Amino acid sequence: MTNFGHFRLDFWLVYKAPSPKSFQRAWESLVSKYPAAAAYLTEEIYPDRERWAWAWVGSRFTAGIRTTGRVEGQHRIYKLKGAGRDTTIMELFNLLNNQASSQDRKAIQNLQQVFWF
């Protein structure tokens, strides 16, 4: 495994540290183990730790969401449905509202599956 491969594994272990105290210990060990990454880790990543590290984020309700992927997924759907640089504002307006309506229909279908009617 490459140096980066080891670093990646170690980083995700730190990421998943269960409490702020254990995070701190793991973080210090990570920084001293990888001096090449120390500046980036300390200056760029560390100040935001309460917004990404599991020790803080894990205790908050996020409905299982940890990425903005759901919105990006919606943007991908708009594109597949034809939204592009030649789309007028009214076409986009209708497309977005149709997408919301199709989600409503999907929700009803899910209900029907539960209640068998």
Partner 1 sequence: MSCPRSKLSPWISTVVNEHNHELYLNTIVDNKLKPEHIRYIEEHVVKGTTMSQMIQMLERVWTGRTFDERQVTNVLQQIRTDAIEGLKRKGGDIYVLANSLIEKKEEGWDYEMFSDPIDQRLSRVWWITPAQMDLLRDFGNVLVLDTSEGKNIYDYFLLTFVIVDGENVTRNVGYCIHDKQDAGSTHIYARTDISHVPMGLSEHGQTCAQTTNREWLIVFSYIDSPVYRSRYCHSGCCEGYMARALSWDMSLAFGGEHQQAPRFYDQLWSFQIRFLASL
Taking CB under 8 A as the rule, does residue 86 contact partner 1?
yes
Q: Minimum distance between the CB of residue 33 and partner 1, rounded to whole angstroms?
A: 13
Instruction: Give the other-Cβ count within 10 Å of 92's Cβ.
Output: 14
**Sign, Cα dihedral of 62, 63, 69, 72:** negative
**Sign, Cα dihedral of 5, 6, 11, 12:** positive
Site for partner 1 in 5-44 (CB under 8 A): 5, 7-8, 11, 36-37, 40, 44
What residues make contact with partner 1 under the rule CB under 8 A?
A: 2-5, 7-8, 11, 36-37, 40, 44-45, 47-48, 50-52, 57, 60-100, 103-104, 106-107, 110-111
